[in-house]
Structure 1
Amino acid sequence: MVVEAAKQATLLVFLFCSYNFKQYFHGNVLLVLYLFHTCFTIQLLLAVAAIPAQLLLPGAKLEPQFKAPLRATSLQDFWGHRWNLRVSDTLRSTIYDPVKTISTRIIGRRWASYPAVMATFVISGLMHELIYYHIIREYPTWEVTWFFVLQGLFVDLEIFLKKKLVATGKFKLHQTISGPLALANIALTAACLSYTQLLRNGADEKIINEFNECVRFLVGAAQVL
């Protein structure tokens, strides 16, 4: 976990350094960088949080928080098996499974997974909306929630198409095509919805300025020593 944290921290430093030249970047390029920034930050925070457990339990093997999300072969694979696995497991046991059980009794096993997926993404969206509120301290405008609602709809559509086409052998996209399409879907919807609240309130500028101030402080402290 220490190595993982160091790797993510190094990548973040490179990103922050690149932000000093952001005026030369196209807006879409900057959004892609912010997407990677989010990935690296979450992985860094979770890796740092796992370090005390690793030190206290040196013989224990901790489960990974992420499983190569950029290698996802579909939206279902990305959200369910690769991205932020502990949160996925928590939402699966607290939201998805109970809703699926109830839905099975009402609409049958065949359709039960669809409302379960949708409910899971709605709850996740509301959780992220709360996180955003604590970051920007502004009244929610619900773009973040809509991002997860859309992702829930896309995952449901993907499940439906898999059952109708892939399972019956009628049609199947190769992973080299379905994977990039899934990642492009996430990147596009995130750029249009997930980051708009942060950009509108200048949260990105504040984070960049805080990093630069931190660097200046460390440089000054090093010179004194």
Structure 2
Amino acid sequence: MASFIKAWGLVIISLCYTFFIAKLVPKGIKRLILIFPVVLIFFIVPFLISSIHILGITAFFIAWLANFKLVLFALGRGPLSSNPKPLSLPIFLAVSCLPIKIQPRPKPPNSHSHGGFGPLIYTIKAVFLVLLIKVYEYNNKLPEKVVLTLYAIHIYIALELILAATAAVVRAMSDLELEPQFNKPYLATSLQDFWGRRWNLMVTGILRPTVYEPLLQLFSVLGPNFSQFPAAFGTFVVSGIMHELIFFYMGRLRPDWKMMWFFLINGFCTTVEITIKKTINGRWRIPKVISRVLTLGFVMVTALWLFLPEFNRCNIIERALDEYAAISTVAAEIRRRVTASLL
């Protein structure tokens, strides 16, 4: 808790400095230079935390998303600059350090992706996640690929719950409508659909203006039909680097670059897919059922091969289970003391 308060206290102070610098300095290179020390601080902040859960969230929220947002903000772009009216300090802090983006136009009532069943669905997923954690106690009795597949399910559900909970808290405190974080990735009909329109939309929304669009402009000499290929591949490269960084924070181990290869392979295949689509130009399409199986199958096979083994190498699941056990012990002790005091 002490390390958490120290790390996030530093984050809040740094963002307050950024907020007031923006009031004094117009967008451009000068503002970027003045904000750059905050970017460096945000790369250091995860090293101040020891808890694997808080560390992973902080690395994702701060070292990656917040830093990219601040670079865009310095240049007058991105979620911190795209609103018609300047953000108040509390909203600026929330949008900066949390994976949220304010909707440009409020959605009509009852338009959320899960409809009125949203709370129930999230409750079911939370219960399923608890059951999944219990299954990890039998890791030694399960085949390795089965355990890695459980990791993949765990990642999706945990990310969805964390991001949805974060958005719900901000929505309740600010009365703002926020963009969804996932769009049913299990229904993706292509790699382009999976990575660009369904999986972790906050990351997609940040990578597009910080990496994809600048590269698209850089390679514009190739023409509009070809410049998006290196731009798309370059975006996967940056995503791979940031994932390697996050797992370096969590494992403190020298990268073996398998995760990077996961994104390089998916990036290459996505650009090939885009090329084929342009060549065919809608003249022939694979049935949706087959394309969904092929898409998820490809992502899962490459993840089982390159991405998910990183959890074992960094001993992340075992450390997470130790934290769950510690929390359970503390909770039991609190209950015992409360009961004793009442009696």
TM-score by length of 2: 0.60
Among 134, 157, 168, the residue aligned to 2:272: 157
Name the residue aligned to 2:210: 94
Among 118, 130, 134, the residue aligned to 1:13: 130
State the shift of 1:102 in Å. 1.7
State the shift of 1:148 in Å. 0.8
Matched residue of 1:109: which SS? coil
State the shift of 1:108 in Å. 1.5
Residue 235 of structure 2 corresponds to residue 120 of structure 1: yes
Among 49, 57, 63, the residue aligned to 2:166: 49
Among 323, 328, 332, the residue aligned to 1:210: 323
Residues 79-127 of structure 1: per-residue CA shift (max 9 Å, x gap): 100111111011111111111122122x111211110011100000111
Residues 5-57 of structure 1: per-residue CA shift (max 9 Å, x gap): 64543232111011122222221111110001111121122122223311223
Contact 2:211/2:234 (<8 A) preserved: yes
Residues 147-168 of structure 1: per-residue CA shift (max 9 Å, x gap): 1111101101111121223x15
Matched residue of 1:38: which SS? helix
State the shift of 1:201 in Å. 3.2
Name the residue aligned to 1:109: 224
Q: Which has the higher helix share?
A: 1
State the shift of 1:191 in Å. 1.2
Taking only aligned residues, the RMSD between alpha carbons, in angstroms, comes to: 2.0
Rounded Cα–Cα distance in structure 1 between residues aligned with 2:231 and 2:124:
36
Matched residue of 1:61: which SS? coil
Question: What is the one-letter code of the residue matched to 1:202?
Answer: N
Consecutive unaligned residues in structure 1, runs of 5 or more: none
Question: What is the one-letter code of the residue matched to 1:90?
Answer: I
Name the residue aligned to 1:176: 289
State the shift of 1:202 in Å. 2.1
Rounded Cα–Cα distance in structure 1 between residues aligned with 2:255 and 2:282:
43
Residue 207 of structure 2 corresponds to residue 63 of structure 1: no
Residue 140 of structure 2 corresponds to residue 27 of structure 1: no
State the shift of 1:198 in Å. 2.3
- Equivalent pairs, count: 221
Residue 197 of structure 2 corresponds to residue 84 of structure 1: no
Question: What is the one-letter code of the residue matched to 2:252?
Answer: R
Contact 2:148/2:309 (<8 A) preserved: no
TM-score by length of 1: 0.90
Consecutive unaligned residues in structure 2, runs of 5 or more: 1-111, 113-117
Rounded Cα–Cα distance in structure 1 between residues aligned with 2:146 and 2:198:
24
User: Identity over the aligned pairs, expressed in percent?
Assistant: 33
Contact 1:121/1:148 (<8 A) preserved: yes
Rounded Cα–Cα distance in structure 1 between residues aligned with 2:139 and 2:256:
26
Matched residue of 1:21: which SS? helix
Contact 1:70/1:183 (<8 A) preserved: yes
Question: What is the one-letter code of the residue matched to 2:303?
Answer: A
Matched residue of 1:111: which SS? coil
Name the residue aligned to 2:36: none
Q: Which of the pair has the greater relative contact order for Cα pairs under 8 Å at 6+ separation?
A: 1
